[in-house]
Amino acid sequence: MSTPTEASPDSGHGKPQADHADQARTLVQHVADLRAWLFLAALVVGFEFWARVSFGGTFILNTFNLQSIAIFAVAPLLLATGQTFVIISGGIDLSLGFIMGLAAVVAAHTINAVTPGAGLLVGVLAGFLAGVAIACIPGMINGLLVSRLKVPPFIGTLGMFGVARGTAFLLAGGTTVPVSNNLFAMIGNGRIWGIPYIVIITAVFMLVMHYVLSQTKFGQHNYAIGANVQAARRAGIDVKGHLFRLYVLSAACAGLAGVLYSARFNAGAAQAGEPLLLDCVAAVVIGGASLFGGSGTILGTIAGALVIAVIQYGLVFVNVEPFWQFISVGVVIIISVLIDQAQRRFAGGRVDE
Given the rule CB under 8 A, which residues bind other proteins?
1, 3-5, 7-14, 16-17, 19-22, 24-25, 211, 215-217, 220-221, 223-224, 226-228, 230-232, 234-237, 294-295, 347-350
Enumerate helices (H) and strands (E) in the chain, giving the number of each: 14, 4
In three-state secondary structure terms, 295 is coil
Q: Is the Cβ of residue 33 or residue 279 nearer to other proteins in the bound state?
A: 33
Closest approach of other proteins to the CB of residue 283, in Å: 21
Q: Which of 148, 299, 130 is nearest to 209 (CA)?
A: 299
CA 298 to chain centre: 7
Closest approach of other proteins to the CB of residue 210, in Å: 12
- 176's enclosing H/E stretch is none
Q: Is the Cβ of residue 1 or residue 192 nearer to other proteins in the bound state?
A: 1
Closest approach of other proteins to the CB of residue 24, in Å: 5
> What does the alpha-carbon distance between residue 213 and residue 302 come to, in Å, rounded to a whole number?
14
Q: Is the Cβ of residue 19 or residue 321 nearer to other proteins in the bound state?
A: 19
Closest approach of other proteins to the CB of residue 13, in Å: 4
Q: Is the Cβ of residue 115 or residue 301 nearer to other proteins in the bound state?
A: 301
Closest approach of other proteins to the CB of residue 343, in Å: 12
Q: Is the Cβ of residue 190 or residue 349 nearer to other proteins in the bound state?
A: 349
> What does the alpha-carbon distance between residue 207 and residue 220 come to, in Å, rounded to a whole number?
17
Cβ atoms within 10 Å, residue 41: 13
In three-state secondary structure terms, 267 is strand
Q: Is the Cβ of residue 21 or residue 334 nearer to other proteins in the bound state?
A: 21
Closest approach of other proteins to the CB of residue 2, in Å: 9
Note the maximum CA span of the chain. Answer: 84
> What does the alpha-carbon distance between residue 191 and residue 195 come to, in Å, rounded to a whole number?
5
Q: Are 271 and 116 in contact (CB under 8 A)?
A: no
Provide the sign of the torsion angle of the four alpha carbons 136, 138, 139, 140, taken in this order: positive
Q: Is the Cβ of residue 199 or residue 239 nearer to other proteins in the bound state?
A: 239
